[in-house]
Amino acid sequence: MASSNRRNRFDIGAALDFAIQNGLSERSTIDEHVVRKKLQRKNKEAYEREMKLWESYTLRFPESDPRNVRTMKHFAKVVGMTIPGRLDKTGKATTWSVRNKMRRFYNMWERDYKVSIPEEVKLLVAPYVDGELVDKLGLSREKRRPTFLTIANYVHLQEQLWTRDHHDYVHEGSRVDSANLLNTHCFTSARLKEVCQAIYKDIICMIGWKDGEPEFKVDFKREHTKGMQDTPKKPEHPLVEKIKGEDGPPPLFAQPILH
């Protein structure tokens, strides 16, 4: 046993020596900046727009520092007064749009300057925008009404793939892969995460009656859902056992309850 431990220590030491001989640099050559995920091009354009507003702001108000609470409150007010409202009839910006712009600004400023903004400063934005700025600027709390993929839409997509798609696949298994990709897009990554991370208290199994036959339904009700903290009515996503189109039910593996 002792000889085995010595051999392992020797091997590890030899591996480290090998790394040094092959150019392993000193730790002092590595910066201490936080590594952030690379922004997609479309997202980067939106983040850079917030920085342009900040640059314009600093020309009017020199020595502004986003790590300062007073500065950030003032800048949040500027953001709220410069956003054209689209949902509110009076043209007022919404609290959600102000908060999102401030979040993007924080992220982009930290990326550009390689300095972190204190968490307590970033956390003040939501209550400040939802409280004082609503009263001072008359910000709207309107939210864009979400649109959903209906069961009829889902059936149509599956029928198009399985009964009306005349593409000559090299291997019929490719159609199965396409159906699985379709399911992924239909249920969205957020929904898949909601299902995969659900625990027993989030899942409700029901037995219903449809078209003269009993039917199983699985429903997910999450207490904490991303982006829905302030929504009284939490999202519900029932998955039914059987769905039918004009030509009858789609293939078994297209039934959403199996996914």
Structure confidence at residue 32 (pLDDT):
79
Structure confidence at residue 105 (pLDDT):
95
Compute how many other C-beta atoms are within 10 angstroms of the C-beta atom of residue 139.
24
d(CA 51, CA 104): 9
Structure confidence at residue 77 (pLDDT):
94
The domain spans of the chain are 41-137, 151-258
**Which stretches of the chain are DSSP H helices?**
2-21, 41-60, 69-82, 95-113, 119-123, 125-128, 134-137, 151-162, 173-196
d(CA 250, CA 230): 38
Structure confidence at residue 207 (pLDDT):
79
Structure confidence at residue 31 (pLDDT):
76
Whole-prediction pTM value?
0.55
Question: Strand pairing partners for 146?
Answer: none
d(CA 241, CA 254): 11
**Residues 6+ away with beta carbon under 8 Å from 208:** 214, 215, 216, 217, 240
Answer left, alpha or beta for residue 249, where phi above 0 means left and psi between -120 and 50 means alpha: beta
Question: Strand pairing partners for 207?
Answer: 216
Q: Phi, psi at residue 191, to the nearest 5°?
A: -70, -40
DSSP calls for 186-232: HHHHHHHHHHHT--GGGEEEEEEEETTEEEEEEEEB-SS-TT-TT-S
pLDDT in tens, the chain (259 residues): 555 555 555 577 788 888 888 888 888 787 777 888 888 888 888 899 999 999 999 999 999 999 999 999 999 999 999 887 655 556 678 898 899 999 999 999 999 998 999 999 999 988 999 999 999 988 888 776 666 566 677 778 888 888 888 888 888 788 888 887 777 666 554 455 455 556 667 777 777 777 777 777 777 665 555 555 555 555 555 665 566 656 666 555 555 555 5
